[in-house]
Amino acid sequence: MSDARERFLARVRQALAGGAGPAPGYAAEAGAAVGRGSMPPRADHPGSDPAAWPARFAAELEAVGGSAERTAWEEAGPRAAAYAGRLGVRRVLAWDPAALPGPGGELLASVLAWLSGEGLEVRTWPAEAADAELGVVVAEAAIAASGTVMLSSGRGKGRSVSLLPDHLLVLVPAGALRPTLAEALADLAQRTRGGDIPQNVVLITGPSKSADIEQQLIQGVHGPRTVHALLVAPRGAGA
Amino acid sequence: MGRRPPAEPFHARVERSLRDTFLRVAVPAATRRFHLTRRHALAELGEPLRWRQLARAIRAHTIANLDRYLAQAADAVEARGGRVHWALDAAAAVEAVLSIARAAGVRRVVKSKSMVTEELELNRWLEAEGIEVVETDLGEYIIQLDGDSPSHIIAPAVHKTREQVRQLFSRLAGQELPDDAQALTDFARRRLREKFLSADMGISGANFVVAETGHVVLVTNEGNGRMVTSLPRVHVAVMGMERVVPTWEDLAVLLEVLPRSATGQKLSVYTSITGGGPAPAGEGDGPQEFHLVIVDNGRSRLLGTRYQEGLHCIRCGACLNACPVYREIGGHAYGGVYSGPIGAVITPLLEGFDGWEELPHASSLCGACHEACPVLIPLHDLLVDLRSDEADQERAGRWEVLAFRAYRWLCERPWAYRWAARAAAALQRPLEEAGWLRGGPGPLKAWTEGRDFPAVAARTFRDRWRDLAAGEGDGQ
């Protein structure tokens, strides 16, 4: 095994060192860390004021075929129930609120309690996923510039919940919004460099889609057909 | 093992493509749309060139230090309980995957789209072991059902009509399905869902592998990449060795340019950052085994040469969409796994010139590919260099060699050149029509049948110059 590795890497090393090399100027460009990590300013940046981010997030998610609404913490349950009602679904599969530390877990627990109270069949992960109609998860981060939610796997946070059901409801707690991908990945970098490495992180930007048949856009190829995000204000803060 | 060039010669493949009336409409329409949405999506960033320069710097730095970053990625995977397999060539890569499958008692494999596994012809080898392999990207699934091969890096079935898809799926369903893209997609969804839930192994490619943690990054729109890496008990990721990216910060830059350049999306629907190691026990899903197969298969031949930049490619397909040649002939005419300008560059480099001599000539050298490339690979320059290499290896046809010898002989002898120009002006008269030649003998006829050939000027430049220098003017 290590023998194969050594042979492989030795061939790469020798090839890089030998030969005439790439065109002039290449070496300077390939020098250590040329501007890496220092991104150019971007014209589509949502701005530094977090107050502007929810509206931008919602507009971007809607532009890719998803939907989003802002809600007070206390209203999140009724809004979730209304979404399920519009879809006409009954079987809900959710992450386990007990697995989520802090306000995300409390928010999820309250939403699930409301859905149960409305007569929906609510199961929490791990549970049978194949026949669930609506998945409910909590975003670790949400990206305003692209309408993206970031989920990471872990105990009680099955990958299948956001993947197998036909519909997906994402709760976005206050404070989860980031302006761009760079900030969301910076959070992830900080986390993994601290030794906490999730096996699976997924950035979801709208419903599953394909244009493989004559370039006609179809929603819901393998993943959820609809994606709805609830941007939830802090508890007691109103909408 | 290794792939062989197609038996059908290049010009015959091109002619067949040019006679395909659906392809002649569908490919220009799709590529034009991709091309326009790409430009729009990049323009939204504000200063696309600066982003592309940054992306290029990251790729140049990575490839120039490839041994270091591959070692780092492998260490990270092993530290997280994954296994790393080093494959110098296609045979070793196939053997690695087969031995993983044997050890795990695999009967059914689901695959997400991966160009490198096309290089390895992995499906054929798995099937020879009696293992069922199912492609799960909708386009790849269509291609697989028809025993066809992908014709575009990101739109593999762009050359297939809806009616062809309907017939394929109807045969599978045992009943006539409606001529409706939504209904056909729903059929594939139901059918493939069963496969996902019952597969033992998922095989994916890798858009990127993050050296820090060994995570595989997969960019998809359908969700099949997530299925393949989440549901089966074994996940095998096959990466071309150049796919590594040093840090999360570098990944953030490349993910801003890849989907924009590929489909014009800000981000693809699913960016999966997955694997590196198995899923911890108790999570309820995710693979119990993770394997990373790192494939060279000819790539190291580009390192240390002026073609090293060919390994910067992030497989977005933008150069295909921009290329006036690709737009006319589609992907299959190139004959290899990779088509378009990047295919014309890397196929002869990865596979050797034999059977691929024509590819560096399948370009107008207009440079549209370079203009479109998110990492600014000078594809047109590399094509010229490849042509030069071919000439150095005396791979040109006998008549071409003779013609250029004659041309050199003339150019070295001004008196002969002058007489030849005058002779040509006289001899061409029967063929000339309004400044262009029509018809003609031998190779000239072959050229003028499909292309314009300007007539030689009636008076040579040297004659006009002599008159001008004498102060007479030329009266025009």
pLDDT the model gives residue B3: 67
CB contact under 8 A, A163 and B223: yes
In a domain, A37, yes or no: no
The third-level CATH classification (topology) of the domain covering B10-301 is: Rossmann fold (3.40.50)
Is the Cβ pair B304, A21 closer than 8 Å? yes
Question: Domain-by-domain residue ranges, chain B?
Answer: 10-301, 398-469
What would the two tokens of residue B135 be? 């492609």
CATH number of the domain where residue A188 is located: 3.40.50.10420
Residue A165 domain flag: yes
Q: Do B294 and A8 touch (CB under 8 A)?
A: yes
In a domain, A38, yes or no: no
CA distance B432 to chain A (A): 44
Contact: B222, A209; criterion CB under 8 Å: yes
Which of B20, B15, B45, B473 lies closest to B258, judged by CA? B45
User: What is the distance in angstroms between the Cα of A238 and the nearest Cα belonging to chain B?
Assistant: 31
Which of B222, B266, B309 is the closest to A222 by Cβ? Answer: B222
Is B269 within 8 Å of A20 when comparing Cβ atoms? no
Candidates A176, A113, A197, A152; CA nearest to A124 is: A113
pLDDT of residue A35: 46
- Distance set, CA B400 to CA B259, B405, B452 (Å): 42, 9, 19
Interface test with A, best of B153, B168, B221 (most A CBs within 10 A): B221
Give the pLDDT of residue A199: 98
The β-bridge relationship of strands A91-94 and A121-124 is parallel
Is the pLDDT reported for residue A127 higher than 90?
yes
Residue A205 belongs to a domain: yes
Is residue A5 situated within a structural domain? Answer: no
Give the span between the Cα atoms of A90 and B259, in whole angstroms.
35
- B435 CB neighbour count, 10 Å cutoff: 10
Total number of domains in chain A: 1
pLDDT value for B476:
47
A208 or B449, higher pLDDT: A208
| Locus of tokens 């689901």 | B110
For testing contact with chain A, the best of B285, B301, B381 (most A CBs within 10 A):
B285
Which class for A90: exposed (0-12), middle (13-18), buried (19 or more C-beta within 10 A)?
middle
Above pLDDT 90, what percent of chain A?
Answer: 85
Domain encompassing residue A63: 50-209+218-232
| Whole-number Å distance between alpha carbons of B317 and B333 | 16
User: Would you list the DSSP string of A60-80?
Assistant: HHHHTT-EEEEE-GGGHHHHH
CB of B349 less than 8 A from some CB of A:
no
In a domain, A7, yes or no: no
Query: Would you state the pLDDT for residue B237?
Result: 98
Are residues A42 and B381, on separate chains, in Cβ contact within 8 Å?
no
Q: In chain B, what's the furthest Cα-to-Cα distance?
A: 95
Q: Check residue A32 and give its pLDDT.
A: 46
Query: pLDDT (tens digit, 9 = 90+) per residue, A143-186?
Result: 999 999 999 999 999 999 999 999 999 999 989 999 999 999 99
Whole-prediction pTM: 0.92
Give the residue with greater pLDDT, A81 vs B461. A81
**A126 domain residue, yes or no:** yes
Alpha carbon of B408: minimum distance to chain A alpha carbons (Å): 28
Mean pLDDT of chain A: 92
Written as one string, the DSSP assignment of B342-410 is HHHHHHHHHH-STTTTTGGGS-----HHHHH-TT---HHHHHHHHHHHHHHTT-S-HHHHHHHHHHHHH
Minimal Cα distance from A212: which residue of B? B139
Which neighbouring-strand residues pair with A218?
Answer: A210
Is B46 within 8 Å of A155 when comparing Cβ atoms?
Answer: no
Q: What is the pLDDT along chain B (476 residues), one digit of tens a residue?
A: 456 889 999 999 999 999 999 999 999 999 999 999 999 999 999 999 999 999 999 999 999 999 999 999 999 999 999 999 999 999 999 999 999 999 999 999 999 999 999 999 999 999 999 999 999 999 999 999 999 999 998 889 999 999 999 999 999 999 999 999 999 999 999 999 999 999 999 999 999 999 999 999 999 999 999 999 999 999 999 999 999 999 999 999 999 999 999 999 999 999 999 999 999 999 999 999 999 999 999 999 999 999 999 999 999 999 999 999 999 999 999 999 999 999 999 999 999 999 999 999 999 999 999 999 999 999 999 999 999 998 888 777 777 788 888 999 999 999 999 888 888 888 888 888 888 888 888 778 888 888 888 888 888 888 888 888 887 654 44
pLDDT at A23 over 80: no
Residues of A whose CB is below 8 A from B50: 40
Contact A181 B256 (CB under 8 A): yes
Please tell me which residue, A27 or A191, carries the higher pLDDT value.
Answer: A191
Residue appearing with tokens 């493509």: B17
Q: Indicate the DSSP class of residue B452.
A: -
How high is the pLDDT of residue B21?
Answer: 92
Quick check: is A196 in a domain? yes
